[in-house]
Amino acid sequence: MSGVTNSSTNFGTLTEVAGNATKLAFSTQPSGITYGSSLNPVVILQDQYNNPTSRTSGNLATLNVTMAIASGTGSFSGTTSLNIGTAGGNGTVTFSNLETTTIGAKTITASATGLTSVTSSSFTVSAAPLTITANNVNKAYGTAISSPVLVKLLLQFQAFKIQKL
């Protein structure tokens, strides 16, 4: 090439610009939780070269990302769909109140119309600790109990009462 010399030629500045989104990705994977706690995964748009982008084909104001359980049992409660389009998350959405209805190992899938979906790494929802409380526990043997004995079991955020009459 004429005009090119060793280390003194400047061809200008090269700027990388991400393309239109072609797929979804987890920038924050869901991780193990205790039953009743929320999952907080973060989903982003990526172009065909895995670059984060906020550009969608047609610059969509609304493009909903929907979460579903891919493997494991149960379903979700809480917000399962968020807008990642330009009028919403503009390329990023954070799910903050996803709760599963069952314990065990799971994976989740994030999907949106026109984009390649993504499945999370495996995580485990553990059972909540068992808590037992009872009234009238400080009575001496043979002493009359003035009120019924009440035992409460708290398991996985559901209270069960057993009452002796």
Give the total number of structural domains in the chain.
Answer: 2
Examine residue 155 and state whether it is found in any structural domain, yes or no.
yes
pLDDT single digits (tens) 31-79: 999 988 999 999 999 999 999 998 887 778 899 999 999 999 999 999 9
- 148 token code pair: 């019924």
Examine residue 12 and state whether it is found in any structural domain, yes or no.
no
Examine residue 2 and state whether it is found in any structural domain, yes or no.
no
Kindly report the average pLDDT of the chain as a whole number: 83
What mean pLDDT is predicted for residues 140-159? 60
77: domain range? Answer: 23-126
Residue of 154, 110, 147, 163 lying closest to 128 (CA atoms): 154
Residue 43 has a CB neighbour count (10 Å cut-off) of 24
Q: What is the pTM of this model?
A: 0.73
Whether residues 86 and 138 fall in one domain = no
Per the model's pLDDT, the better-predicted residue between 101 and 27 turns out to be: 27
- 93 token code pair: 């959405």
> What is the C-alpha radius of gyration for the chain, rounded to an integer number of angstroms?
27
Examine residue 18 and state whether it is found in any structural domain, yes or no.
no
Rounded Cα distance between 116 and 132, Å, is 47
pLDDT of 153 above 60: no
Residue bearing tokens 């994030």: 110
Rounded Cα distance between 46 and 89, Å, is 14
Q: What are phi and psi of 148, to 5 degrees?
A: -60, 150
Rounded Cα distance between 159 and 163, Å, is 13
Rounded Cα distance between 162 and 26, Å, is 45
Rounded Cα distance between 151 and 132, Å, is 7
107's enclosing H/E stretch is strand 104-111
CATH number at residue 43: 2.60.40.3960
